[in-house]
């Protein structure tokens, strides 16, 4: 009888604890986004366990540094970069740098740079960034600019998303600049 009562009490306490944990409100996500270029327009749009940073870069050359100030970094981090082409992209976090080239009509090439050396990446790599070109008409709706360029949807690598990192920086160069 005592064992059944103890087990029932333990199950009830576990259920109460789980309910209390679920009811804890999560602090709202808050990020700080900065750029050395004054023409870069950076906006964040949260989703269901994801965040998308929209970066409008009319000059086609720029940078952005993004730091999480409050909340937990979502599982998925996207960057929507509004440039016509992508000759050069560099992602930096911790002591890792990933550089990429993603022409609209050619293959994506990515290289991992670490203190121990560098390596060409393939899509099955833990460090691979998904880089997908998107058409122009979608971006104009977000920024409300009539001459909105096409964009690229960039998904940060699994290493960043699962590694507990809270900040990253990007540099980019459009083609023919």
Question: What is the pLDDT, as a whole number, of residue 57?
Answer: 87
* Cα 66 to Cα 112: distance, rounded to the nearest angstrom: 20
In terms of DSSP H, where are the helices of the chain? 2-22, 136-143, 158-162
Tell me if 159 sits within 8 A of 126, measured CB to CB. yes
Tell me if 84 sits within 8 A of 150, measured CB to CB. yes
* Cα 26 to Cα 38: distance, rounded to the nearest angstrom: 33
The residue assigned the tokens 């709202």 is 28
**Distance (Å) of CA 124 to CA 86, 127, 129, 142, 156:** 21, 9, 10, 32, 14
Instruction: Read off the DSSP letter of residue 28.
Output: P
Question: What is the pLDDT, as a whole number, of residue 134?
Answer: 86
In terms of DSSP H, where are the helices of 32-176? 136-143, 158-162
Report the sign of the C-alpha dihedral through residues 125, 103, 99, 51, in that order. Answer: negative
* Cα 157 to Cα 167: distance, rounded to the nearest angstrom: 13
Mind listing the pLDDT tens digit of every residue in the chain (177 residues)? 555 554 455 545 565 555 655 556 667 889 999 999 888 899 999 988 999 999 988 889 999 999 999 999 999 999 999 988 899 999 999 999 999 999 888 899 999 999 999 999 999 999 999 999 988 765 555 556 655 678 899 999 999 999 999 999 999 999 765
* Cα 111 to Cα 79: distance, rounded to the nearest angstrom: 19
Question: What is the pLDDT, as a whole number, of residue 101?
Answer: 95
The residue assigned the tokens 């993603």 is 102
* Cα 40 to Cα 26: distance, rounded to the nearest angstrom: 30
Question: What is the pLDDT, as a whole number, of residue 112?
Answer: 97
Question: What is the pLDDT, as a whole number, of residue 29?
Answer: 86
DSSP for 86-147 reads -SEEEEEETTEEEEEE--TTS--EEEEEETTEEEE--TTSTTPPEEEEE-HHHHHHHH--TT
Residues, the chain, total? 177
Question: What is the pLDDT, as a whole number, of residue 114?
Answer: 93
Domain limits, the chain: 30-173
């Amino acid at each position: 009888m005592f064992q059944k009562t103890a087990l029932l009490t333990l199950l009830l306490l576990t259920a109460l604890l789980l309910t209390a944990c679920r009811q804890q409100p999560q602090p709202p996500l808050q990020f700080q986004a900065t750029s050395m270029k004054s023409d870069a327009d950076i906006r964040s749009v949260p989703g269901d366990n994801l965040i998308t940073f929209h970066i409008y870069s009319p000059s086609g050359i720029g940078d952005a540094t993004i730091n999480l100030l409050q909340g937990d970094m979502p599982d998925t981090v996207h960057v929507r970069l509004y440039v016509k082409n992508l000759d050069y992209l560099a992602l930096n976090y911790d002591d890792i740098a990933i550089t990429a080239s993603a022409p609209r009509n050619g293959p994506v090439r990515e290289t991992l740079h670490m203190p121990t050396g560098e390596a060409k990446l393939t899509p099955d790599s833990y460090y691979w960034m998904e880089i997908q070109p998107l058409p122009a008409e979608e971006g104009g709706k977000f920024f409300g600019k009539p001459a909105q360029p096409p964009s690229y949807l960039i998904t940060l690598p699994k290493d960043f998303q699962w590694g507990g990192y809270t900040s990253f920086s990007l540099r980019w160069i459009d083609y023919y600049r």
